Structure 1
């Protein structure tokens, strides 16, 4: 095609008729280039997706463009392979047509099957051009790689933790803002409203009051000092303090034991199970002789204390405490994990010095010369007032069976007792062995840490933690490293599916290329489906007669034309001259082997005719 060739002819039936041709390399080289380019594009697609695998999705735009680029690479790969198959199909078509006769309808289907899938229904095509059908089927299936391979990159959400520096709420007990009300000269006269509300939320909820989370999922470590209670049994306190460190104040008690029974009463003495008349269930008083101490007696018992005897005697004292905690948020739900809680100094200053503490250094924590230079904080004094007021009072069963609460001489129903509104009610030391009907006292397992002493300590620490939510301390913050966990989108590349799709397509195309090159070698020339090829290969008087009255080439093709069988080979007579082209079945001599091109007359015993044509 475009090359001058010589055909040597002696007679129409001479199968030794030869035609010298050359193979134009442009189309074969294009097929190889398209195949290599498609392979490199597929490799590029794989490498691009692999670079994104497990990488965070920076933005919605990045995600969109990743899919767009992947789709574009898949489309380029598919287009290149399909074009390669198209070139191969052309060469295989000429190889098929020179071997056997086919109906014109079958030839039409062969020429158009790469662009019209309906042509697969042609029986002549399926019977006589199986390789063409396979090539076309593969070409039609290639778009699947443009569908499946982009989908191998997906996005999944994963909780990721990063560390940032962030200002978080903390505590400053030198700041007395809103803690108390005051009389003349700054004497503390009562508890501030917000502090009272905050503590009420603590003991009714049986946990600390949370503050607004900085992030839905985060955690950080925090260290600070603050107040807490330390509770112990009367027996343990006496054993631990053989030489009393306390001194009587405005009282004539000579021992801790005497002070305890003097203020709580002898009904709580060991083993006293008498419930005649008024039966005390619980009683707590803020100790007069011992500074910042609450005496507590109950008529119940706790098996965890290794005793079955009724009556429990506790002393709860105020201490300065060092806290090391981890504050966490899980989907906005706050938790506090205690890493270390170390009891420091006992707050031994008395009630009088606490009330006057506002006069020290403008209300901040300061040493008091009149209290042996002990550090006194007005906030600590108020803290103790809050908890001692909460605990103080007597809960009892009257002689007529009425369940009552008494505080400072005023009696009311036991439901008014703050203690009974808290989780402390569920501690066995209160409800066990009191003789109270279950309708009045039924445990709901809200006693934290299972003993009354531990539950009171826990309550005091929860109150301290809750002060991080204290509104007047909203600006009290500290900068800490914070681990923030948040859902983050990541790319996920399922390389198995992409590689399987591309490798299959490339290997199948490579096999098809081998078939195409075999067909090209057998043809001896580079075939074309162009109009010029049709023009040059259909110069035949038989075809001219067949085309009479059917010149438009319209669809559908008439049966008389469609069912006529043609074959590509040597046609013509001695009068008209022989040439390569399509002819009716039985009028065509198969093409023979073709020697190299030559310009001149061939030497032999027979007359030769030189025909010059272009394919």
Structure 2
């Protein structure tokens, strides 16, 4: 018979005395029940100063009616589907929502944001999805941690303080730094660390969708050159001042830039890329064969016109005081009839160099070197933009494709007396739609620029050389190139010049380096030819109705969503990886345990039904924190309880059928080894 006691009123000394106990009733129910060791405390009616009595209710209900207590069955080993299913479900939900988060943001990418209220919703939804993803993964990890905790407490004894921290790893991070757990439960601490760090996975993903101001882009038709127009073939041999290629070329040369092109869209700033084919020049210093021609021409100039290059003056020992100094001379047999400053060009034929002109070329003689420029076909890749009130042309790539062909064609109605004409008849002449470009640039380059052998004074009294200028090149930026401003004639004084001949020369040709955009004369001539070709796009007479559809970026902006998935993939990827590792540990723990454990109150109660623990923790029955200091160092373990006196399993009653010992937490020396598959009560 169990002893029952009544505690003295509050404030009295802790002395207990026996209470009357009902007679045992096991004989009344022996056929349908087994002894019960459960006791309850009932508060005495009408008494507020006493602790409730303990009553045995093993045979009767509290109202006195007879209770039918079924025979207690032994514990069944087996893994219930609920915990494994829960872990898998949480992982799948976390994976599914993380993919959903990515697909949602991908769908929002490059969409117009709208007003402030609409802008906020994607961030709110993203934050919610990130919270749910980490919550599901955290639930799977915590459940796996719970399964592994039961593996730890079965495997080895731990102090009660360590058990407290072990069972509260998911709610109290201080357990992660407890020394005994570091030695005995490293994997549990690893899983607990995952639980606490999973929240970080929700920080970055919601911020991977941002709002940026993007320039509005659209498509528009832009003009391109139409080489089939009559303007490229109507006059194949004659230069006409008012013809569009000539007027555009002169303007581009004088402006030292591309002629402004029409705006394709209504915006303060815009840009687009354009690719097309067109004529250009490819220039190089004369080779040995070509230099023979230059020597013949400059030699004749020296003899007939008293016009010398610097080499001719120094080598022939002509007096610098009497010689006229050649700075610039350009000729070509391919210039159109009637081109300015080309009336002396036919004299070149008298120098015996006609056979040198096979392909369309321009010959340039400076004071020190000869340059030959071949007319070529090129592909143009340019970016045309308008910004800060100015047009900007970026030459991305201009690739020379080779010399363009000049086949013979038959023309009629030639001007009587014109070259290659037969008094108004028909004649075959060489033709290419690119020839007007050669005529146009020839208008600018042709002719001579030289210094006379005298010195004058300008209107301000500054001494300068008297110059003979029969070329439009003086209106271009070519005068600022090194070949001109740094000519050796710069330091060659005249008899009546001031002692500082360099100053006199610079007064004649002021140095403005920015005008020669590519520094050297060769590059500057090619640049001028390219600018003229690009400037043709400004004239409807040379583009006609030919257009191409281009993507144009404007200065007008619109707010759009921009998605950067990298940090979303990193955050969710790491969270899923560590949660999956935790799940593997959880499944392995379930397999080792033989059952799926719970961290619920009923599970803890079932595992602590040990009278020895009741006696040890009686003073802590309120569950207050912290526990009694003398209990912290007690080492407990989960296993089948042993009889303290006989060190054998307790709870075996042969009259109640097949039963095994009771499993619960107990002092490490008072519990046996828990083996999966054995019979326990």
Q: Give the TM-score category using the shorter length.
A: 0.5 to 0.7
User: Matched residues in 1 for 2:158 and 2:534: separation?
Assistant: 96
- Deviations, residues 170-208 of structure 1 (Å, cap 9, x unaligned): 2569688xxxxxxxxxxx997699976863543563x75
Aligned to 2:591: 517
Ranges in structure 2 where 5+ consecutive residues have no aligned partner: 1-31, 38-71, 114-121, 210-218, 232-238, 265-269, 349-364, 386-392, 457-463, 494-500, 554-561, 652-660
Deviation at 1:333, TM superposition (A): 1.7
User: Matched residues in 2 for 1:510 and 1:314: separation?
Assistant: 80
Aligned ranges for residues 162-561 of structure 1 at < 5 Å? 167-170=222-225, 199-202=250-253, 205=256, 218=273, 220=275, 222-223=276-277, 265=305, 267=307, 273-277=318-322, 279-282=324-327, 291-292=337-338, 294=342, 295=344, 323-329=377-383, 333-335=394-396, 336-342=398-404, 344=406, 370=424, 372=426, 388=443, 391=446, 394-400=449-455, 402-406=464-468, 418=474, 421-423=477-479, 426-427=482-483, 431-432=487-488, 435=492, 437-439=501-503, 440=505, 459-460=528-529, 462-470=531-539, 477-479=546-548, 506=580, 509-511=583-585, 513-518=587-592, 520-521=593-594, 527-536=597-606, 538=608, 551-560=621-630
Query: Which structure's relative contact order is higher, taking Cα pairs within 8 Å and 6+ residues apart?
Result: 1
User: Matched residues in 1 for 2:259 and 2:589: separation?
Assistant: 79
User: Matched residues in 2 for 1:396 and 1:517: separation?
Assistant: 105
Aligned to 1:304: none
Aligned to 1:140: 193
2:454 alignment partner, SS class: coil
Deviation at 1:22, TM superposition (A): 0.7
Contact 2:144 2:586 in 1 (8 A): no
Q: 1:117 to 1:422 in 2, by over 3 A?
A: same
User: How many aligned positions are there?
Assistant: 498
2:404 alignment partner, SS class: strand
User: Matched residues in 2 for 1:348 and 1:396: separation?
Assistant: 44
Deviation at 1:219, TM superposition (A): 5.5
Contact 1:397 1:403 in 2 (8 A): yes
Contact 1:398 1:404 in 2 (8 A): yes
Aligned ranges for residues 594-613 of structure 1 at < 5 Å? none
Q: 1:71 to 1:461 in 2, by over 3 A?
A: same
Deviation at 1:489, TM superposition (A): 8.7
Contact 1:6 1:20 in 2 (8 A): no
Deviation at 1:373, TM superposition (A): 6.9
Aligned to 2:147: 87
TM-score of the pair, normalised by structure 2: 0.49
Contact 1:281 1:397 in 2 (8 A): no
User: Matched residues in 2 for 1:566 and 1:230: separation?
Assistant: 96
1:422 alignment partner, SS class: helix
User: Matched residues in 2 for 1:450 and 1:586: separation?
Assistant: 96
Q: 1:489 to 1:190 in 2, by over 3 A?
A: farther
Contact 2:223 2:547 in 1 (8 A): yes
1:556 alignment partner, SS class: coil
Ranges in structure 1 where 5+ consecutive residues have no aligned partner: 10-17, 156-163, 177-187, 240-255, 299-307, 357-366, 409-413, 599-612
User: Matched residues in 2 for 1:73 and 1:419: separation?
Assistant: 72
- Deviations, residues 80-137 of structure 1 (Å, cap 9, x unaligned): 24422323324543x25xx64743x44433332332222346667667xx23x53243
- Deviations, residues 202-249 of structure 1 (Å, cap 9, x unaligned): 3563x75575898867452x235799999999x98999xxxxxxxxxx
Aligned ranges for residues 18-29 of structure 1 at < 5 Å? 20-26=74-80, 29=81
Contact 1:78 1:142 in 2 (8 A): yes
- Deviations, residues 516-538 of structure 1 (Å, cap 9, x unaligned): 533x24xxx66543222444455
Contact 2:260 2:535 in 1 (8 A): yes
User: Matched residues in 2 for 1:595 and 1:427: separation?
Assistant: 102
User: Matched residues in 2 for 1:526 and 1:6: separation?
Assistant: 28
2:548 alignment partner, SS class: strand
User: Matched residues in 1 for 2:524 and 2:676: separation?
Assistant: 107
Contact 1:325 1:340 in 2 (8 A): no
User: Matched residues in 1 for 2:674 and 2:436: separation?
Assistant: 118
